[in-house]
Amino acid sequence: MNGRFEYKKVCKFCGKAFIAYQSTTKYCCVSCTKRAYKADLKAKQQQSDSEEIRERNRQKLLSQEFLSISSAAALLSISRPTIYKMIAKGEIKTIHISERIVRIKRTDLEQIQPAIAPIGSVIN
């Protein structure tokens, strides 16, 4: 008797069926292992880059005195409809520049901010 177990598995990278001799094997060959490793590194780098861009945009918004609805939502990390609901409830004061253009003072957002999250902090 051999003593080796055979596990029927599907490669997590290419999707081919293969026989593994260890229960922890994820990939069918060395090539798939290397490709999956590189893809994982690339995904981590892209996520890191996107977090840096998000923080850079947040800092740019913090330097502006008046913000649009979308900018205010991005700064508070909430959705635009939530901002509109807060405006309708009177929680946020707005400045109407024209019939369609609405701006919010950043200082007004800082007053309601403790209920949501501190402005300038990164939310994980």
Burial of 46 (0-12, 13-18, 19+ CB in 10 A): exposed
Same domain, 59 and 102: yes
Tens of pLDDT, residues 5-51: 899 999 999 999 999 999 999 999 999 999 999 999 999 999 988 88
Burial of 94 (0-12, 13-18, 19+ CB in 10 A): middle
Same domain, 27 and 72: no
Tens of pLDDT, residues 68-78: 999 999 888 88
Structural domain count, the chain: 2
Structure tokens given for 16: 């081919």
Is there a domain that residue 12 lies in? yes
Same domain, 88 and 113: yes
State residue 108's pLDDT score. 87
39, amino acid identity: A
Same domain, 120 and 79: yes
Range of the domain at 81: 53-124
